[in-house]
Amino acid sequence: MASFRQHGNGWQARVRRKGTPDQTKSFLSLQDAHKWARSVEIEIDRGTYVDTSNAQKTTMAELIERYIEDVLPRMKGEIEDRIRLNAIKKHPACKIRVSNLTPTVMGKYRDERLTKVSSGTVIRELAYLSSIINHARREWGINIDNPIRMVRKPQSPQGRDRILSTSERRALLVAVKPAGRRNVWLEPVVKFALETAMRRGELLSLRWNNIDLNRRTALLETTKNGERRLVPLSSSAIDILNNLPRHIGGEVFPVSACALAAMFNRAIVRAGISNFRFHDLRHTAITDLAKKLPNLLELSAVSGHKSLKMLQRYYHPNAEELAQKLG
């Protein structure tokens, strides 16, 4: 049954039902308190009541903060994700209680962000928020519908097809050579990326105890799709490894992701190359490997792609070369 008591300038209603936690809520008027109590009692009796008290006192920013502290440390991309989520939680939409988040609110968030960042970035941010809300519903007792499911996503940007030309490759390899205060690890990591088509995270997680120089293989313990992968190494890749000093920590390339990104960006400027990212080295490498490995199964074994559709996003054949093959 329900009970009511004066609470400050208003009234607090409390609903008790056997087998159900007490439900309380405060109102300005006694009449509103009675209406709420009756509706809760009916829903409990029908078995349709959903406790939204946690959602009513928790903001989206607080959910993000809890996710950063409790969940993120167990994920591979913790460092980059922590930076992104700390930026997202500062948005005014994240100051709203999650019980008040609606598709309209999130639609306005989408539209406002599209004026500042690319559609790809907005898609990723909405995916982040949706994932956090779903986790909160499953694990933390935050009982709300996920409003992002009802939000129209921006059109996905066209996949990048940027690869190095022959002249750009030469300029880049000159720009990454050690000179003065330049980091000595930049040149070998760029050359190794072009030989193996490994992702940046895979390169930086590579350890000497997972490399077999005799069998010419490198074992990646963790990859983007969560599976181990044995990568075959070319003779050039083996030469790069043989010329590397051994770091006491066991890493093949003892460089942080942030440091590598900064060094690479400076090298791109020195080389006079525009619109090129570190990940585009993977596009370039896979396009080169496709000339040596026309069998798609063999190519995907090197690149680590599970589907032909994903592999097609990275393989960029030269139309003139294909025309010559046609005769």
279 a catalytic residue = yes
Question: Is there a catalytic annotation at residue 74?
Answer: no
Residue 81 to residue 124: CA distance in whole angstroms: 11
Q: Which of 49, 67, 314, 315 is catalytic?
A: 314
Concerning whether 34 is annotated as a catalytic residue, the answer is no
> Where does residue 219 rank: exposed (0-12), middle (13-18), buried (19+ CB within 10 A)?
middle
Query: What tokens appear for 195 in the block?
Result: 């030989």
Which one of the listed residues 153, 279, 291, 292 is annotated catalytic? Answer: 279
Q: Is 247 a catalytic residue?
A: no
Concatenating the DSSP letter of every residue in 138-154 gives HHS------GGGGSPPP
Is residue 11 within a helix (H) or strand (E), and if so which, with residue range? strand 10-17
Q: Which of 129, 82, 120 is nearest to 257 (CA)?
A: 82
Catalytic annotation, pick one of 67, 282, 283, 315: 282
Is 314 assigned a catalytic role? yes
Quote the CA–CA distance of 171 and 80 in Å, as a whole number.
Answer: 29
282 in active site: yes
Among 66, 224, 270, 277, the one annotated catalytic: 224
User: Which alpha helices (H) appear in 176-295, and where do they start and end?
Assistant: 186-196, 200-205, 235-242, 257-271, 280-292
Which residue in 113, 199, 200, 283 is the catalytic one? 199
How far is residue 59's CA from residue 89's CA, in Å, rounded to a whole number?
Answer: 10
Query: Residue 63, exposed/middle/buried by CB under 10 A (0-12, 13-18, 19+)?
Result: buried
Active site residues: 199, 224, 279, 282, 305, 314
